[in-house]
């Protein structure tokens, strides 16, 4: 976008930026200015690229905007945080012009508004290459402060929201960041550690194990498998999909057995089921247990993937 195209677009954006007491200066100056929060500030950033994270020729750009904002808000949810604000940078394919920018903004703004997250600035560029969109989101801690990956203890339960696997059938573009659920969970249980499932359950719980310096045994039969995982029908088992597929954007968290039993028993998040899928142990490592047998689980996912590739 040439300078005047960019300035026109900034004007268009400013007209669509609601006032917000948390935002002292919004889009259009050299920097945005946020009001002092008097709490720690959380910052996360995620970049999506056409052809890697979505295919612009197949997808409504509004949905791409929703996803770009949603994956960042999911990272805030994984810290137990509330959104404070976000900024957005884009490299637009020159041929698509301003209409693409406006559609992306519609999706970004819709997702941001659903989670009370003002978009306070950005940078709009164009080039003759595919779309790139980078969002940086800021948050303030929830009632238990930032929930890190490092607080799981031997004996804790691993609990997960929702159901896993097969997001590639479409859900990977329809992120539901578990912001409200993470706040609600903090009102009902002490969360020792948390992560969102973006790279796949096995890979992501591997981070919990590494950062917490303990081990984890997953219970294969307890893992909630999404209907999409059963519909994949590609020779890999639904469980394999639930362990290895990414972009579920559900939360996996460590709680005491007492808190875990109450959460799972009461099912307090009535639109979002929670399930116990494993227990943390003192010995470092990651295992999966099924039919009484315990096997190491590589962070890349289900061991069968490697067996299939063996000669």
Q: Which residues contact 134 (CB under 8 A, 6 or more apart)?
A: 45, 46, 47, 48, 68, 88, 89, 90
Question: Interface with its own copies includes 240 (CB under 8 A)?
Answer: no
Instruction: Give the x-and-dash track for 11-50 against its own copies (CB under 8 A).
Output: -------------xx--xxxxxxxxxxxxxxxxxxxx-x-
Element (H, E) at 138: strand 132-140
Using rule CB under 8 A, residue 296 touches its own copies: no
- Residue 40 Cβ vs its own copies, minimum distance, rounded to whole Å: 5
| Part in contact with its own copies (CB under 8 A); list of ranges 71-79, 166-174, 219-227, 269-277 | 71-79
Q: Which is nearer to its own copies, 18 or 265 (CB)?
A: 18
Q: What are phi and psi for residue 23, nearest 5 degrees? A: -115, 110
CB 89 within 8 A of CB 125: yes
Beta bridge partners of 295: 288
Q: Which of residues 88-147 bind its own copies (CB under 8 A)?
A: 88-91, 120-123, 125, 127-130, 132, 134, 136, 138-139, 141, 146
Smallest separation, CB 12 to its own copies (Å): 15
Backbone φ, ψ for residue 139 (5° rounding): -145, 165
Contact 302, 240 (CB under 8 A): yes
Between CA 255 and CA 103 the distance in angstroms is 41
Report residue 73 CA to chain centroid gap.
6
Please pick, from the candidates 62, 68, 85, 189, the single residue that binds its own copies as defined by CB under 8 A: 85
Interface with its own copies (CB under 8 A): 3-4, 24-25, 28-47, 49, 51-52, 75-76, 78-79, 81, 85, 87-91, 120-123, 125, 127-130, 132, 134, 136, 138-139, 141, 146, 148-150, 194-196, 199, 203, 211, 299-300
């Amino acid at each position: 976008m040439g300078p005047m195209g960019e300035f026109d677009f900034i004007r268009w954006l400013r007209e669509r930026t609601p006032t917000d007491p948390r935002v002292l200066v919004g889009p259009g100056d050299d920097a945005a200015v946020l009001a002092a929060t008097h709490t720690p500030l959380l910052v996360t950033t995620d970049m999506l690229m056409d052809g890697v994270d979505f295919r612009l020729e197949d997808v409504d750009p509004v949905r791409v905007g929703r996803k770009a904002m949603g994956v960042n808000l999911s990272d805030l949810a994984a810290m137990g945080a509330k959104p404070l604000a976000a900024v957005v940078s884009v490299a637009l394919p020159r041929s698509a012009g301003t209409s693409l920018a406006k559609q992306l903004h519609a999706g970004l703004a819709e997702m941001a508004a659903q989670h009370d997250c003002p978009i306070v600035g950005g940078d709009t560029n164009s080039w003759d290459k595919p779309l790139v969109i980078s969002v940086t989101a800021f948050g303030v801690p929830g009632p238990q402060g930032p929930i890190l990956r490092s607080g799981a203890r031997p004996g804790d339960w691993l609990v997960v929201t929702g159901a896993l696997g097969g997001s590639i059938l479409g859900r990977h573009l329809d992120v539901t960041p578990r912001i409200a659920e993470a706040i609600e969970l903090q009102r009902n249980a002490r969360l020792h550690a948390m992560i969102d499932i973006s790279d796949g359950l096995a890979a992501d719980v591997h981070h919990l194990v590494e950062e917490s310096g303990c081990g984890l045994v997953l219970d294969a039969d307890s893992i909630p498998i999404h209907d999409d995982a059963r519909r994949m029908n590609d020779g890999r088992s639904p469980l394999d999909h639930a362990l290895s597929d990414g972009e579920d954007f559900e939360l996996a968290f460590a709680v005491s057995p007492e808190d875990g039993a109450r959460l799972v028993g009461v099912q307090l998040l009535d639109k979002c089921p929670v399930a116990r899928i494993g227990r943390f142990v003192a010995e470092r490592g990651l295992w999966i247990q099924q039919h009484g047998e315990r096997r190491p689980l590589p962070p890349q996912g289900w061991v069968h993937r490697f067996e299939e590739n063996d000669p």
